Amino acid sequence: MSDKGTILKIKDISKEYPSVKANDSVSLDLEYGKIQALLGENGAGKSTLVKIIYGLVKPDSGRMYLNDMEYRPKGPQDARSKGVGMVFQHFSLFDALSVFENIVLGLDNILEKKELQKQIIDVSSEYGLSISLDKIVGNLSAGERQRIEIIRCLLLNPKIMIMDEPTSVLTPGEVSDLFLVLKKLSKSGMSILYISHKLEEIRTICTKATIMRRGRVVKNCDPQKISATKIAEEMVGTSFSSPKKSKIKKGKECLQINNLSFQPSDPFGIPIKNLNLKLHHGEIIGIGGVAGNGQEEFLSLLSGELKPSNGSLFFNDEDITKLNVVERRNKGILSAPEERLGHAAVPAMSLTENCLITAEHRMKLSKRGLIDYTISKNLSDRIIKKLDVRTGGSDALARSLSGGNLQKFVIGRELIQNPKIFIVNQPTWGVDAAAASSIRQQILDLAKEGTGIIVISQDLDELLEISDVFCALVGGQLSSPEMTNELNPSRLGMLISNSIE
Amino acid sequence: MLKIEPRKNRSNFLEVSAPVIAVILTMIFGGFLFLSMGKNPFEAIKLIFWDPIMSPTFSEYSRPQLVIKAAPLILIALGLSFGFRANIWNIGAEGQYIMGALFSGSIGLALYPLDAWFIFPLMILGGIIGGIFWAMIPAILKIKFNTNEILVSLMLVYVAEQILALASISFLRNPEGLGFPGSRDLSKYPSASNPELIANSGIHVGVICSFIAVVFLTYFLTYHRLGFQIKLIGQAPKAAKFSGVNVNYIVIFCLGLSGGLAGIAGMFELTGPAGLINIDFNVGYGFTAIIVAFLGRLHPIGILFAGLLMSLTYVGGELAQFMLSIPAAAIQVFQGMLLFFLLSTDLLVSYKISFNLGINNSNPKSKSE
Amino acid sequence: MDFSDINFSLLIASLIVAATPILLAALGELVAEKSGVLNLGVEGMMIFGAISGFIITIETKNPWLGFLCSSIGGILLASIFAVVTQIFRANQVASGLALTLFGLGFSALLGQSYTGLKPVSFPDMHIPILADIPVIGIILFQHDFIVYFSIFAVFLVYYLFRKSHFGLIIKAVGENHDSAHALGYNVILIRFFTILLGGALAGLGGGYLSLVRVPQWTEGMTAGAGWIALALVVFASWQPFRLLIGAYIFGGITLLQLNLQALGLEINVALLSMSPYLVTIGVLVFMSARRNKNSLEAPKSLGKTFFGL
């Protein structure tokens, strides 16, 4: 085989699950020494394809060839032994174990501890991946965790490395470090299959891209020679209008957060340190930053699920620090947490029942403790109609809805209650582009009616699009608020990387 | 290969048929068990499941027994099912049952031989308080220190048994009992006794109570906020917290409810079928009720049927013991088997399973619960 | 009588004997819990091991064979649990309870005609030279094989989780079964193994109860020992040597309680008999009150069902 030939050839791979055709005769050629992108929205079938290549899932039909030899991995171990490595987005590290133990678990042949340590140090210095072996993984940052995954993968001398959404948890600084490593690797002859839905980064480092939509390959192209809008259109399939932001006059102050602090009982939890913020009626504050920097805790402190160890909260000049979840909700402080299934909604309950979770008191779904399911069903029907939730109806179980539709329902459930303050974490995470745009529009409309809104998101573009004021939440600390329209990308990168200057 | 996927929508048909399948499987495997003991399996199964109700010879005795044994099982299982739904595992109902009997018995015996209308209601109250008191120990420890309620409630069964033994040979012993262990026979003390209401029906106040409890708790579970919150905690604890459910309150409520119902069951048993406090007063209703709760799919109506069925295995078991000399322990095995089959068939209800003989197959996602 | 009548060395030696059944059972549960499996059926596996070993010993007059069969009995029962929870993915708490109820019933059934019999005694193995050391010899080196084995097993489990690769895999499965699956480890197979190992050790512990510790068969003779073993695992924060210490402290309490009863002191018998259970509750409260320190050690996937296959 020549230097520029194909290393992995995928031909007509299909995989069907009872509810969905995840891969529909997908073909793809991966070339030697290239960083090649696999693009697509959530649910396009990228993950399934990658799992097939890594041996975690067996295809229903189709063939794969590795160096012209038929390739049919029996499992991840088999795939690794044939030179296919994978860096996971999440799901593959063990928090309570040390870095060294985590690396050992990803290897297939057991080496002397000394020998292995030497190898690890060699690899990490060669590619500039610094790491300390005795640390417990649960205490490490996302970037450090990813380094472990990469080292673990490199120790096996793979010919192909698959990276699943590698930058979704990284700060901009960490992303550029990663790109340096990837470029080094590809120069040394390794082929990298890079999965993402972020167009800009793919245009920076990939020279070939395969775009998937609904289980099929829709286009192969060179991302550096084609515009981002064009790629986006291919990914989504349809064009849609982006939300319109109208100029809103900001009103009276409605929420004041003073020195809010929180000390978690979980050893790997994120403490919140002295957080200060003022929110006004009709204002949207965007809280940026990589997930796992205290975002979930911040929302829970505002919703009342967590009790602060220090500090105070004022709603329209009234001290609400000591109020519980229900009391705060009755005041009009509503929220929508990030995790849809299990936190915002209960998977095995109907939408009607899911309405009760947050709307019972405010929407009077019960009388003297007794629930009125008719009113609840009516409310659910209204939410479905208002946000155009695609579902069989209010009796459908929450888990039967697609991610985007459930997210619309969860957010709609709060919007319909006329919140005075609305706090939402990752409103469009894992949601298809059309639904995301409609959710953003709903948030903007809500602000127009005078609601003070806090949007927590890792999607900086989203925050730039809809928020008036921007803060970064990093390591449980909040940067001082800045006007969104005065921000430039480098300033933004700085804020996200190390917040407090 | 086995493929397992959560069902998009639950099937009512399967909800009901899963326990039926489990019962049939238990009959088949139980039949093998009896066969291995050299008994005729068909005869044994008929004796256990058919004769107590239908046989002209036995039913006159067995039918009332059926109700008498079902009542405590249903009462206790009803209470347990609420906790189980919320992942609060009270497995010490046996101890709460004993304490209920001891509290109510102490009241009755203290007032002996006073003849007054208020004694029986007072004893019911005593039974409830005794059961709740014993259940509050694991509840409070769980709330205060996050101590595992499974182990604490179970340990307290052994403690309660020791107190029972102590009571029957010391402070509650019948002063006219010639030094034998055991208290006075409360069923012979009119103000404290719980007699059959209709002759030869087996129906006593406790039986009526258990039926009322089924109706009331069905309504409560479906329509009351607490019933909803209990389901919420069990299925998604984080969502419950987000909703504003006070978890500690639910812990107290569930353990209190199961303790109170177990205590009241102990009281009715003491004043009726058992009659007196003695070392062998408890016969394991508190443990069998765990099976009843699951067999009834943690739903009050289901528990009503499950209690009757389980009672049938007791009564029929006695018949089988009498007629075929099948030991009582075999019935216990039978009941254990039933629970296993039930738990296994549960998979059918919430998950879609397909068998595929091809090799090119694997599961889509790893899901954990 | 007074306290001086209790020979100190003999007391310690018999304390070790008293602790051995729960030590073995708890050790098995520890391994299972490390892999993320919460098996509440220890009591059932123990008592089934007790009767299996007892029957075989009575029938063959060979206690060695008896111990082997008590282990096999434990494995048989554990395999039901493994099938129900790992293949049929049933709730582990409920299945464990079912296993205990089933084991108690099944053992009672099998033991019908064995009540009151006495098994062949199991010889002590005096370790040469060491056994003759005063005090320490009596305490440590005049025991039977199973006692030595139980202590050896503690070291083995320590080695398993501290040094061996296989132990690391078990820990990984217990920490995060989704990650372990993604790396290609067979979560169900590993858990099957640990469940069966737990069954073997619980069965052996039960066998020791009916063959050496008591030694005879009575229905329900474990009397909560399996549950106490479960509590010990929590007490030991999943560490084998702490388990050893915990088991011996517990053995000491049981023994002291029995000795005090024998002495006929002015303490209530019932109060003494309930003391081991009260102590267990006390220990659980103490351990859970300092939960923060513990939470690092508890396997993260403990009791959770793995659905990927």
Q: pLDDT by residue (tens digit) across A287-309?
A: 988 777 888 999 999 999 999 99
Q: How far is CA C198 from CA B231, C46, C81, C209, in A?
A: 33, 10, 11, 17
**Interface contact flag, B368 C281, Cβ < 8 Å:** no
Question: And the tokens for A384?
Answer: 């479905």
Find residue A39's DSSP bridge partners: A196, A211
Mean pLDDT estimate for chain C = 88
Q: Of chain B residues 315-334, which have a CB less than 8 A from chain C?
A: 327-334
Query: Residue A445's pLDDT band (boundaries 50, 70, 90)?
Result: very high
Tokens 């079928």 belong to B273
Q: Quote the pLDDT of residue B369.
A: 32
Same domain membership, residue A365 and residue A287: yes
Selection from C202, C206, C196 nearest residue C53 by Cα:
C206
**Complete edge-to-edge strand list for the sheet that includes strand A84-87:** A84-87, A160-164, A191-196, A35-39, A208-213, A216-221
* Range scoring the smallest mean pLDDT among A116-120, B361-365, C152-156: B361-365
Residue A247 has pLDDT above 90, yes or no: no
**Interface contact flag, B162 C270, Cβ < 8 Å:** yes
Backbone angles phi, psi at A70, to 5 degrees: -60, 135
For residue range B60-103, list pLDDT tens digits in order. 888 899 999 999 999 999 999 999 999 999 999 999 999 999 99
Same domain membership, residue A257 and residue A232: no
Q: Rounded distance, CA B137 to CA B152, Å?
A: 8
Tokens 């003297």 belong to A368
Closest approach of B331 to chain C, Cα-based (Å): 8
A385 inside domain: yes
Range of the domain at C35: 3-294
Which distant-in-sequence residues (6+ apart) come within 8 Å of C152 by Cβ?
Answer: none
Q: Whole-prediction pTM value?
A: 0.87
A56 inside domain: yes
Question: Using CB atoms within 10 A of its CB, is residue B59 exposed (0-12), middle (13-18) or buried (19+)?
Answer: middle
Give the total residue count for chain A.
Answer: 501
Tokens 């947050």 belong to A358
A247 inside domain: no
Q: Of chain C residues 50-69, which have a CB less than 8 A from chain B?
A: none
Residue C231 has pLDDT above 60, yes or no: yes
Q: Flag whether residue A60 sits within 8 Å of chain B, measured between CB atoms.
A: yes
**Interface contact flag, C309 B4, Cβ < 8 Å:** yes
Chains sharing 3 or more CB pairs under 8 A with chain A: B, C
With CA atoms as reference, the chain C residue closest to B291 would be: C98
Which distant-in-sequence residues (6+ apart) come within 8 Å of A114 by Cβ?
Answer: none
Q: Of chain C residues 210-249, which have a CB less than 8 A from chain A?
A: none
Q: Rounded distance, CA A430 to CA A438, Å?
A: 14
Question: And the tokens for A58?
Answer: 């067996």
Same domain membership, residue A301 and residue A332: yes
A369 inside domain: yes
For residue range B219-230, list pLDDT tens digits in order. 999 999 999 999
Q: Quote the pLDDT of residue A125.
A: 85
Same domain membership, residue A114 and residue A52: yes
Q: Rounded distance, CA B348 to CA B343, Å?
A: 10
Query: Residue C67's pLDDT band (boundaries 50, 70, 90)?
Result: very high
Residue A171 has pLDDT above 90, yes or no: no
Residue B50 has pLDDT above 70, yes or no: yes
Q: Flag whether residue A251 sits within 8 Å of chain C, measured between CB atoms.
A: no
Residue B9 has pLDDT above 80, yes or no: no
Residue B18 has pLDDT above 90, yes or no: no
Question: Using CB atoms within 10 A of its CB, is residue B320 exposed (0-12), middle (13-18) or buried (19+)?
Answer: buried
Question: Using CB atoms within 10 A of its CB, is residue A340 exposed (0-12), middle (13-18) or buried (19+)?
Answer: buried
Find residue A367's DSSP bridge partners: A370
For residue range C16-50, list pLDDT tens digits in order. 999 999 999 999 999 999 999 999 999 999 999 99
Percentage of chain A beyond pLDDT 70 is 95
With CA atoms as reference, the chain A residue closest to C291 would be: A265
**Interface contact flag, C165 A104, Cβ < 8 Å:** yes
Size of interface A-C (CB pairs under 8 A): 55
Q: What angle do CA A361, A365, A368 make, to 5 degrees?
A: 75
Number of domains in chain C: 1
Same domain membership, residue A207 and residue A298: no
Residue B256 has pLDDT above 50, yes or no: yes
A244 inside domain: no
C225 inside domain: yes
Point out the residue among A77, A95, A101 whose CB comes nearest to the CB of C300.
Answer: A95
Mean pLDDT estimate for chain B = 88
Mean of pLDDT values over A245-268: 83
**Interface contact flag, B238 A17, Cβ < 8 Å:** no
For residue range B162-176, list pLDDT tens digits in order. 999 999 888 888 888
Size of interface A-B (CB pairs under 8 A): 89
Give the CATH number for residue C250: 1.10.3470
Question: And the tokens for A2?
Answer: 């020549």
The 3 state secondary structure assigned to A236-274 is HCCCCCCCCCCCCCCCCEEEEEEEEEECCCCCCCCCEEE
Same domain membership, residue A155 and residue A115: yes
Residue A241 has pLDDT above 70, yes or no: no
Query: The dihedral of CA A348, A351, A355, A356: what is its sign?
Result: negative
Q: Flag whether residue A303 sits within 8 Å of chain B, measured between CB atoms.
A: yes
Same domain membership, residue A399 and residue A366: yes
Q: Flag whether residue A232 sits within 8 Å of chain B, measured between CB atoms.
A: no
Question: And the tokens for B191?
Answer: 């103000």
Q: Flag whether residue B368 sits within 8 Å of chain C, measured between CB atoms.
A: yes
Q: Rounded distance, CA A128 to CA A121, Å?
A: 10
Closest approach of B228 to chain A, Cα-based (Å): 9
Task: Provide the residue type at C155 as one letter.
Answer: F
For residue range B270-328, list pLDDT tens digits in order. 998 888 989 889 888 999 999 899 889 899 999 999 999 999 999 998 888 888 888 88
Q: How far is CA C47 from CA A330, B277, C15, in A?
A: 55, 28, 21
C264 inside domain: yes
Residue B368 has pLDDT above 50, yes or no: no
Point out the residue among C172, C182, C296 whose CB comes nearest to the CB of A88.
Answer: C182
* Range scoring the smallest mean pLDDT among A57-66, A463-472, B349-358, C160-169: B349-358
For residue range B71-83, list pLDDT tens digits in order. 999 999 999 999 9
Q: How does DSSP assign B8-77, residue by residue?
A: SS--HHHHHHHHHHHHHHHHHHHHHHHHHTTS-HHHHHHHHHTHHHH-TTTHHHHHHHHHHHHHHHHHHH
H or E stretch including A282? none
Tokens 């990650």 belong to C179
Query: The dihedral of CA B106, B110, B115, B116: what is its sign?
Result: negative
For residue range A180-193, list pLDDT tens digits in order. 889 988 998 899 99
In A18-68, DSSP assigns E strands to 20-31, 35-39, 61-66
Closest approach of C304 to chain A, Cα-based (Å): 15
Chains sharing 3 or more CB pairs under 8 A with chain B: A, C
Closest approach of B198 to chain A, Cα-based (Å): 36
Q: Which residue has the higher pLDDT, A442 or A173?
A: A442
H or E stretch including A424? strand A421-425
Chain B residues near any Cβ of chain A (below 8 Å): 3, 5-6, 8-10, 223-226, 228, 231-232, 235-236, 238-239, 241-244, 350, 352, 354, 359-364
Please report residues of C whose CB lies closer than 8 A to that of A55: 184
In A303-398, DSSP assigns E strands to 310-315, 318-319, 333-336, 366-367, 370-371
Q: Quote the pLDDT of residue A176.
A: 84
C228 inside domain: yes
Residue B269 has pLDDT above 90, yes or no: yes
**Interface contact flag, C183 A94, Cβ < 8 Å:** no
Q: How does DSSP assign A145-194, residue by residue?
A: HHHHHHHHHHTT--SEEEEESTTTT--HHHHHHHHHHHHHHHHTT-EEEE
A475, A496 Cβ separation under 8 angstroms? no
Q: Quote the pLDDT of residue A4.
A: 64
Mean pLDDT estimate for chain A = 86
Closest approach of A138 to chain C, Cα-based (Å): 10
Q: Rounded distance, CA C266 to CA A52, Å?
A: 73
Residue B200 has pLDDT above 90, yes or no: no
Rounded (10°) angle between helices C8-34 and C42-60: 120
Residue C248 has pLDDT above 70, yes or no: yes
**Interface contact flag, A346 B236, Cβ < 8 Å:** yes
CB neighbours of residue A219 within 10 Å: 15
Q: Of chain B residues 158-177, which have a CB less than 8 A from chain C?
A: 158-159, 162-163, 165-166
Q: Rounded distance, CA A311 to CA A276, Å?
A: 9
Please report residues of A whose CB lies closer than 8 A to that of B220: none
Q: Quote the pLDDT of residue C1.
A: 40
C127 inside domain: yes
Tokens 């299972």 belong to C32
Q: How far is CA A11 from CA A20, A23, A24, A66, in A?
A: 20, 12, 11, 11
**Interface contact flag, A396 B361, Cβ < 8 Å:** no
Task: Provide the residue type at B183 as one letter.
Answer: S
Give the CATH number for residue A222: 3.40.50.300
Selection from B323, B326, B269, B329 nearest residue B58 by Cα:
B323
Question: Using CB atoms within 10 A of its CB, is residue B251 exposed (0-12), middle (13-18) or buried (19+)?
Answer: buried
**Interface contact flag, B225 A358, Cβ < 8 Å:** no
Q: Which residue has the higher pLDDT, C142 or C107?
A: C107
Same domain membership, residue A401 and residue A340: yes
Point out the residue among C97, C268, C306 whose CB comes nearest to the CB of B91.
Answer: C97
A248 inside domain: no
Q: Quote the pLDDT of residue A199.
A: 77
Same domain membership, residue A264 and residue A189: no
Residue B365 has pLDDT above 50, yes or no: no
Number of H helices, E strands in chain C: 13, 0
**Interface contact flag, A97 C175, Cβ < 8 Å:** yes
Query: Residue C147's pLDDT band (boundaries 50, 70, 90)?
Result: very high
Helix (H, G, I), strand (E, B) or coil at A275: strand
Query: Residue A2's pLDDT band (boundaries 50, 70, 90)?
Result: very low
Same domain membership, residue A143 and residue A96: yes
**Interface contact flag, C172 A75, Cβ < 8 Å:** no
Q: Flag whether residue A73 sits within 8 Å of chain B, measured between CB atoms.
A: no
Same domain membership, residue A229 and residue A376: no
With CA atoms as reference, the chain A residue closest to B351 would be: A348
Q: Which of A204-213, A417-426, C113-122 has the highest mean pLDDT?
A: A417-426
Please report residues of B whose CB lies closer than 8 A to that of C80: 340
Rounded (10°) angle between helices C240-263 and C8-34: 140
Range of the domain at A114: 6-236
Query: Residue B367's pLDDT band (boundaries 50, 70, 90)?
Result: very low
A218 inside domain: yes
Q: What angle do CA B10, B16, B20 make, to 5 degrees?
A: 135
Question: And the tokens for A87?
Answer: 């860096």
Question: And the tokens for C93?
Answer: 């708490």
Residue A279 has pLDDT above 50, yes or no: yes
Residue B253 has pLDDT above 80, yes or no: yes
Domain boundary residue, one of A236, A267, A300: A236
For residue range C78-109, list pLDDT tens digits in order. 999 999 999 888 888 889 988 998 999 999 99
Ramachandran region, residue A238 (left: φ > 0; alpha: ψ -120 to 50; beta: rest): beta
Pair type for strands A477-478 and A469-474 = antiparallel
